[in-house]
Amino acid sequence: MTEILEHEAVVADGYGEPAADPRLSLDLLVWDAPNIDMTLANVIGARPTAASRPRFDAIAAWFVDGAGDAEVEACVFANVPPQHAGSLQRWVEALRSFGYAVFARPKTQPDDDIDQSMLDHISVRTHSHDLRRLVVFSGDGRNFAEPLEDLARGGTEVVVVAFSEVAGYAISSELIRFIDIEDVPGAFAAPLDRVRLDALPPDGAWLRPTKSLRDAANAFTARRS
């Protein structure tokens, strides 16, 4: 019986440590790495580079600053294709050195995803702690809109941080607070190559194409042939 109870205590924690005192107030950050990386590529119209990716140390400082006396926990959820395991190792170790726990799952099939793992961990923390604030870095409304709004109805402050171009579910919600990731102080070393429709300059702005006109025409012709 003792062994069963010990096993349940370990399972109850998202990354293998005994569940904490349920009276502790917690601010939790969860980061959907595949979604943020994909949407970053979409908004800048190019593959992200080291210079254009978010600075996790600056984001940690912003998150902790807003937590007050609450306990803080930040977790990054990542898919790891076997062929990229070596190149992702340094990234994972850098995250851990900034204070983030990392949940890494092998991606061996196209539909392998970490969304449910994120939701499971959030559920664990709602039972193991008094979840005061939840900050979700993801533009995925299909999987997160309903459970996040349910948490907000229960009294948790829910904040979604993503790109305004792809996070309509959070922007339109009356229960969720939305922050554009580029508005987090220091999140990027330099301004991203994007023009936000929610922050246009008074005189307007040109939005450059993300694909050449000839490439788009060729793709259309190929689909018709």
Sign of the four-CA dihedral 141, 144, 149, 150: positive
Confidence check: pLDDT of 172 > 60: yes
Q: Which structure tokens are listed for 88?
A: 């992702």
The superfamily (CATH) of domain 21-196 is 5'-nuclease (3.40.50.1010)
Residue type, 202: P
Alpha-carbon gap, residue 154 to 125, rounded angstroms = 14
Alpha-carbon gap, residue 153 to 157, rounded angstroms = 9
Q: What is the residue-averaged pLDDT of the chain?
A: 86
Give the domain ranges of the chain: 21-196
pLDDT of residue 85: 76
pLDDT digits 0-9 by tens, 14-62: 566 655 555 699 999 999 999 999 999 988 888 888 889 999 999 999 9
Confidence check: pLDDT of 99 > 60: yes
Q: What is the pTM of this model?
A: 0.82
DSSP-assigned states of every residue in the chain? -HHHHHHHHHHTSTTSSPPPPTTSEEEEEEEEHHHHHHHHHHHHTS---TTTS--HHHHHHHHHHTTTTSEEEEEEEEEE-GGGHHHHHHHHHHHHHTT-EEEEEE--STT--SHHHHHHHHHHHHHHSEEEEEEEE---HHHHHHHHHHHHHTT-EEEEEE-TTT-HHHHS-SSSEEEEGGGSTTSSSS--S---GGG--TT------SS-HHHHHHHHHHHH-
Alpha-carbon gap, residue 115 to 63, rounded angstroms = 21
pLDDT digits 0-9 by tens, 145-170: 999 999 999 999 999 999 998 889 99
